[in-house]
Structure 1
Amino acid sequence: MLKVLTACGNGMGSSMVIKMKVQNALRSLGQTDFDVASCSVGEAKGLAANYDIVIASLHLISELEGRTKGKLIGLDNLMDDKEITAKLSEVL
């Protein structure tokens, strides 16, 4: 199972929106066995090691570097479905 973590500054709305967009993008890329979780970047620092892919805003990625053996994806625009799909496609 592919495990993906989405993170935002405070773990409220935007990480949940990213989570839903990532789920849609994974389905469009043919993935069927995945779990997507969302949290704050502070929580992600402790959780990242348990995930295959960690996704956050580009300006927050530096806080997560070195905390996972998986892939880190930094997004320029959290609401851009095409960017999310393209960047996931690159790491799958």
Structure 2
Amino acid sequence: MKILAVCGFGVGSSMVLKMTLQKAVAELGLEAEVENTDVSSAKGSQADVIFTSNELLDELKGSTKSPIYPIKKYMDLVEVKAALEAYLSTQA
């Protein structure tokens, strides 16, 4: 599974989100590749799922086929893990 953490420039907040996603992936015992990137790169990417902010949600929605989950607090493992579990429940 390929997971993308997306922010405006692909450097700061997406790196924080990536680290939280990696913790969630480990806790759930999943095999997944987690990458961080910017909005432009995410639009052309082949990811299974994308996590980003509410502010970037609309910009990404029309330009990717991947499901997108908005995250409010990038360092909140409970929120990120719940979003990841929500995605996984759609794959069953």
Q: Same fold (TM over 0.5)?
A: yes
Spell out structure 1 runs of 4+ moving beyond 2 A: 66-70
Q: Work out whether residues 51 and 68 of structure 1, in 8 Å CA contact, stay in contact via their aligned partners in 2.
A: no
1:87 aligns to 2:86 (yes or no): no
Counterpart residue identity of residue 9, structure 1: G
| Structure 1: distance between partners of 2:66 and 2:11 | 23
- Paired residues, what number? 88
Matched, 1:21 2:29: no
Residue in structure 2 matching 1:59, options 55, 61, 70: 55
Identity %: 40
**Equivalent of 1:37, from 31, 35, 38?**
35
Post-superposition shift, 1:67? 2.8
**Which residues of structure 1 form unaligned runs of 5+?**
none
C-alpha distance in structure 1 between counterparts of 2:37 and 2:87, whole Å? 21
Amino acid aligned to 1:65 = K
Between 1:63-72 and 1:33-42, the stretch displaced more is 63-72
CA distance in 2, matches of 1:51, 1:68: 9
TM-score by length of structure 1 reads 0.87
Q: TM-score, normalising length from structure 2?
A: 0.87
Consecutive unaligned residues in structure 2, runs of 5 or more: none
* Contact map agreement 1:8 1:56 (CA 8 A) in 2: yes
Bigger strand fraction: 1
Instruction: Using the TM superposition, name which of 65-74 and 16-25 deviates more.
Output: 65-74
